[in-house]
Amino acid sequence: MNSTDVTKGFTEQFGKQAEHTFFAPGRINLIGEHTDYNGGHVFPCAISLGTYAAVGANEDNAFRLYSANFPKVGIIDIPFPDLFQEKRGLWTDYFQGMARVMKTAGINYTHGLNVYINGNLPDGAGLSSSASLEMLVGTILNNLFDGGFAPLDLVKFGVKVENDYIGVNSGIMDQFAIEMGRANQATLLDTNTMKYEYLPVEMGDNVIVIMNTNKRRELADSKYNERRSECEKALAMLQKGIDVKSLGQLTEDEFDENTYLIYDPILIKRARHAVFENQRTLTAAQALQKGDLTTFGKLVSASGVSLAFDYEVTGVELDTLVTNALKQRGVLGARMTGAGFGGCAIAIVNSADVEDFISNVGKAYTEKIGYDAHFYVADIADGAKQLN
């Protein structure tokens, strides 16, 4: 899929030529999972799969929206006076949410837009299709209406849409990785301070393989919000005895020495993952900088174990992919990526072994689960941008 596809689709739907095209990537997180809302570090990168849009002006004072990913929905009109009405339970809620947040922040919509959208991110796969759409919309509106918002403003707008409008208590990582991504680099982000640095992802003879369980993951309906609440409870208990603002501020030893303040087996496990995962992320980034891919791979796998047993966000589908991936020749590490409860996992695989890897893991998955997984070799891409 490319920009030509959406310009053709635009003409078919709206009967005129598109004026501009845009793209926003999806993202994978190399390591640092469920740390973003716990004040820790994350290490994501944007990928070449993503969401495209073709756009043209209209004189209707409305956003007229069509997605090739939801063709049965057809064209949805959102007149400007309706921007602040309730969500409709459609994909257009993400567009409407971004448009209303940006309107509140001061942008002036001087004319309507026809927008044709098509993405090749598997929906509900944990590659952040919703954040990709949010950053795509933010880039369209900011560029075409001279919004003047900085990239980090758009990131924060996207998080506000998720939290306050869609109803998912997500952190900042997805929107940040998608808006701020750079080709062949990952972003080490301290979500507590918003300080970040780009680090080259040099995998040598290895590639990153994305493994899609093909089990849909509905964040708003999952245990995602429950996990966040559990971490908040654990933090509140710790704060009765020590001065700490987030779990991400603690070292492993500081956490171990103060678990008596929590004294609850479930909450200790949840908080332990947040603390230890943060430290793993920092160590993994250092290993990658040094070109120590063996250590990096081991830390990626250790992250997966913690997500399965301390945070309990995997399930049989993800576990089947990861455990079989780790048995294959040429694999340095594997783990689930994203929120969990379905979605995707990643593996670092020697290029020469990728074909056998996909065949062997795919066969084992189908035999165990009863339907196929899908596999993609990830190219690390730039963030959201206007194409023309």
Q: Which residues are catalytic?
A: 174
- Give the pairing type, strands 112-119 and 62-67: parallel
Residue identified by tokens 């063709």 is 71
- Binding-site residues, please? 33-36, 67, 124-130, 162, 224
Are 107 and 143 in contact by the 8 Å Cβ rule? The answer is: no
Task: Kindly report the length of the chain.
Answer: 388
- To the nearest 10 degrees (0 to 180), the angle between helices 316-325 and 293-309 is 150
- E strand segments, 138-274: 185-190, 195-200, 206-212
In the chain, the amino acid numbered 40 is G
Paired with 182 in beta bridges are: 185
Residue identified by tokens 């299709």 is 129
Are 97 and 161 in contact by the 8 Å Cβ rule? The answer is: yes
Residue identified by tokens 């200790």 is 268
- Binding-site residues for Mg(2+), please? 130, 162
Q: Is 89 exposed, middle or buried (0-12, 13-18, 19+ CB in 10 A)?
A: exposed
Count of C-beta atoms within a 10 Å radius of residue 16? 12
230: tokens are 């559990």
Paired with 212 in beta bridges are: 344, 374
- Binding-site residues for substrate, please? 33-36, 224
178: tokens are 């998608």
Backbone angles phi, psi at 255, to 5 degrees: -65, -50
298: tokens are 């081991």
